[in-house]
Amino acid sequence: MGAVYFYHLTDSPLEQALPMLLDRARGQGWRVLVRGTDPARLALLDDALWQGPADAFRPHGMSGGPHDADQPVLLGIDTPADGFACVMSIDSAPLTAAEVGLSERACILFDGHDESALATARGQWKSLTDAGCAAQYWAQSDGTWTKKAEHPKP
């Protein structure tokens, strides 16, 4: 069974944090699903992932295309998590305990300046840990990530 990592974004926006986390996941050889809730937001992230230096090339696609099964990173809304080693939930997209269990890693990225996003992340922590998922909570602090909590505690 995989674990779910909660990433509390306070120092950088999603557009900056997501590429770094995708690079780490891809460095593990994982196929990644980025699940969002808003097609326009995913389109902006799609554009952002194509930007940057050539050595930061991030091959990916938007769900619904003819080559979804071949995409190393797929951005989607209702896309099933089957076949992905890592599932990243953004903008309060749902993530189930079963999906966490099928993945190597699940990630929930949430905006620390948005009270609704904070409340949703707290609810996700409770429901997923109550369902038996291992979880870690990471917060940004002065440009670095610090682990603040872990369930179950080591």
User: For the segment 89-131, what is each residue's pLDDT rounded down to a tens digit?
Assistant: 999 999 999 999 999 999 999 999 999 999 999 999 999 999 9
The span from the CA of 40 to the CA of 37, in Å, is 9
pLDDT for the residue 57 = 86
In the numeric block, which tokens belong to residue 146? 């610090």
Query: Global pTM?
Result: 0.95
Judge whether 59 and 71 are in contact, CB under 8 Å. Answer: yes
Most confident of 50-54, 84-88, 149-153: 84-88
Question: Which tens digit of pLDDT belongs to each residue from 55-72?
Answer: 778 999 999 999 999 999
Domain 3-151 has CATH 3.40.50.10110: yes
The span from the CA of 3 to the CA of 64, in Å, is 27
- For every residue of 30-81, DSSP letters joined together read --EEEE-S-HHHHHHHHHHHH-S-GGG----EETTSTTGGG-SEEEESS---
User: Would you say residue 52 has pLDDT above 80?
Assistant: no
Phi, psi of 62, deg, nearest 5: -95, 140
Where are the domains positioned within the chain?
3-151
* Overall residue count recorded for the chain in this entry: 154
Question: Which tens digit of pLDDT belongs to each residue from 37-48?
Answer: 999 999 999 999
Cα dihedral 11/126/114/109 (nearest 10) = 50
pLDDT for the residue 56 = 79
Residue 1 confidence class, pLDDT cut points 50, 70, 90: low
Q: Sign of dihedral through CA atoms 59, 62, 68, 73?
A: positive
User: Would you say residue 154 has pLDDT above 80?
Assistant: no
Judge whether 110 and 69 are in contact, CB under 8 Å. Answer: no
Question: Which tens digit of pLDDT belongs to each residue from 2-21?
Answer: 899 999 999 999 999 999 99
Instruction: Determine how many CB atoms are found less than 10 A away from the CB of residue 33.
Output: 25
The span from the CA of 29 to the CA of 8, in Å, is 24
pLDDT for the residue 143 = 82
pLDDT for the residue 138 = 97
